[in-house]
């Protein structure tokens, strides 16, 4: 009876030792696997000798145009609401909505009969008063001859001269009435004051139009040329003033919303005479010929203003510039090692950007693969295509063990997947007849 407890204690001790051994082995396996190198070559990196494969580009020096980006709106050169200058019935329209018209082109006709009657009355009155004037002038000539013969008094001659002057004034008034009547008759034919694109008509034939109508008959927008109004930050004022003072025209480009297509190229016209204190911006106006009518009034556009040229600027791809806690920097490659060099960014030209810092032309900077780099890391420069291929092969390498055997986790995952497939196949088969 005294031996049984000892045997039980011995078994329990052995079981605990086995469990402790298994736990220790598991922990060792997990730790060694977590610290195992995952690169393609030797421990310490993804390449030979632990070097990180990266893509690189040389620092180039060239003149880069300085562009100021802004958001603008297309505005017609002239926007005119065509209104009638006399009251009357609208008889006919001589335009099609949306068409281009020339200055002076006939647009509409009003009923001219009222103006024609007024003109006839004015002409008749002018003829009557002109006849009276002619008769008074003949009498004056007779009176002067009689005065020379001392047959009449001087007072009669003076009275006749005053009557002639009175009739002359009346005739001048009549001529003015005739001119006014002709003008009213001309106003019954409404013409385009400027060249441009016709909008939608605001009134139909048969309606009575008046000079006080707010909407008018139609609106004409002059779009050839057309202008763009946009605002730039106050900090760009010196460059804008310098560009306006230059003899050469300042180039302005307009692009679509996505900045994918350039719509037109024009020139800067002028700047506003004051800065908007609420936004800290200055309004500018540019002009575009718009011969293809690609620009439309009130259209939203992205504007690029050429404010100068950065001479002998150091240019790198935009992907080479990284942002850290202390600002922007690039990784410079020297002797197969990288070093972080702080830079200040400047104008952007396509995919490239101007940088300033302790950089020399011809230096290589990392453009791809910098996400895992540290200052002083060893690298190997390869093409971007080769690096993408190498990066894609890393997961495959991680899943292999020594001798090319699959890891236990991979085997387990494969087995589970196969088991689920078998279950799905069995569930998808129709039940045999006679079986529940």
pLDDT at 276: 93
Give the pLDDT band of residue 435 (cuts 50, 70, 90): very low
pLDDT at 14: 75
Mean predicted confidence (pLDDT) in 24-49? 50
CATH number of 68-76+225-310: 2.40.30.170
Listed by start position, the domains of the chain span: 48-59+321-394, 68-76+225-310, 112-186
pLDDT at 22: 78
Task: Write the pLDDT tens digit of every residue in 189-221.
Answer: 999 999 999 999 999 999 999 998 989 999 999
CATH 2.40.50 at 112-186, yes or no: no
Q: In the predicted model, what is the mean pLDDT of the chain?
A: 82
427 vs 141, higher pLDDT: 141
| Segment among 43-52, 223-232, 332-341, 421-430 with least mean pLDDT | 421-430
Cβ-based neighbour number of residue 222 at 10 Å: 20
Give the pLDDT band of residue 30 (cuts 50, 70, 90): low
Fold of 48-59+321-394: 2.40.420
Tokens linked to 290: 């718009």
pLDDT at 13: 76
Please tell me if the domain spanning 48-59+321-394 has the same topology as the one spanning 68-76+225-310. no
Residue 297 neighbours by CB under 8 Å, 6+ apart: 74, 75, 76, 79, 221, 223, 226
Mean predicted confidence (pLDDT) in 99-120? 95
pLDDT at 401: 47
Q: In the chain, pLDDT over 70 holds for what percent of residues?
A: 80
CA distance 230 to 296: 15
Task: Write the pLDDT tens digit of every residue in 114-155.
Answer: 999 999 999 999 999 999 999 999 999 999 999 888 888 999
Query: In the 3-class helix/strand/coil scheme, how is 185-233 assigned residue by residue?
Result: HHHCEEECCCCEEECCCCCCCCCEECCCCCCCCEEEEEEEEEEEEEEEE
Phi then psi for 325, rounded to 5 degrees?
Answer: -65, -30
CA distance 154 to 317: 105
């Amino acid at each position: 009876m005294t031996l049984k407890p000892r045997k039980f204690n011995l078994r329990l001790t052995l079981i605990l030792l086995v469990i402790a051994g298994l736990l220790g082995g598991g922990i060792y396996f997990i730790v060694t696997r977590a610290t195992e190198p995952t690169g393609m070559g030797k421990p310490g990196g993804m390449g030979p000798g632990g070097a990180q494969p990266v893509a690189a580009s040389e620092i180039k020096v060239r003149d880069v145009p300085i562009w100021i980006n802004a958001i603008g709106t297309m505005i017609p050169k002239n926007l005119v609401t065509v209104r009638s200058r006399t009251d009357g019935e609208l008889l006919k329209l001589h335009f099609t909505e949306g068409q281009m018209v020339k200055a002076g082109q006939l647009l509409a006709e009003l009923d001219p009969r009222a103006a024609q009657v007024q003109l006839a009355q004015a002409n008749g009155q002018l003829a009557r008063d002109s006849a009276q004037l002619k008769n008074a002038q003949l009498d004056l000539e007779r009176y002067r001859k009689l005065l020379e013969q001392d047959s009449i008094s001087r007072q009669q001659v003076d009275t006749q001269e005053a009557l002639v002057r009175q009739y002359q004034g009346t005739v001048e008034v009549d001529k003015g009435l005739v001119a006014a009547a002709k003008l009213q008759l001309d106003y019954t034919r409404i013409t385009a004051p400027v060249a441009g694109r016709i909008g939608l008509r605001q009134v139909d034939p048969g309606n009575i139009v008046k000079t006080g109508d707010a909407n008018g008959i139609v609106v004409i927008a002059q779009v050839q040329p057309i202008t763009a109004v946009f605002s730039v930050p106050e900090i760009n004022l010196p460059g804008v003033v310098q560009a306006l003072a230059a003899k050469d025209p300042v180039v302005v480009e307009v692009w679509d919303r996505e900045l994918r297509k350039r719509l037109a190229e024009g020139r800067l016209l002028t700047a506003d005479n004051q800065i908007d204190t609420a936004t800290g911006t200055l309004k500018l106006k540019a002009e575009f010929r718009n011969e293809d009518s690609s620009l439309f009034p009130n259209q939203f556009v992205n504007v690029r203003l050429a404010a100068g040229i950065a001479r002998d600027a150091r240019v790198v791809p935009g992907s080479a510039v990284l942002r850290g806690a202390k600002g922007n920097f690039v990784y410079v490659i020297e002797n197969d090692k990288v070093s972080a060099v702080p830079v200040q960014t400047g104008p952007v030209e396509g995919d490239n950007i101007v940088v300033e810092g302790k950089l020399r032309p011809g230096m290589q900077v990392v453009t791809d693969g910098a996400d895992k780099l540290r200052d002083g890391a060893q690298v190997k420069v390869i093409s971007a295509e080769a690096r993408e291929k190498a990066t894609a092969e890393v997961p495959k390498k991680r899943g292999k063990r020594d001798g090319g055997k699959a890891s236990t986790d991979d085997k387990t995952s494969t087995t589970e997947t196969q088991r689920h497939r078998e279950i799905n196949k069995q569930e998808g088969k129709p039940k045999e007849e006679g079986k529940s």
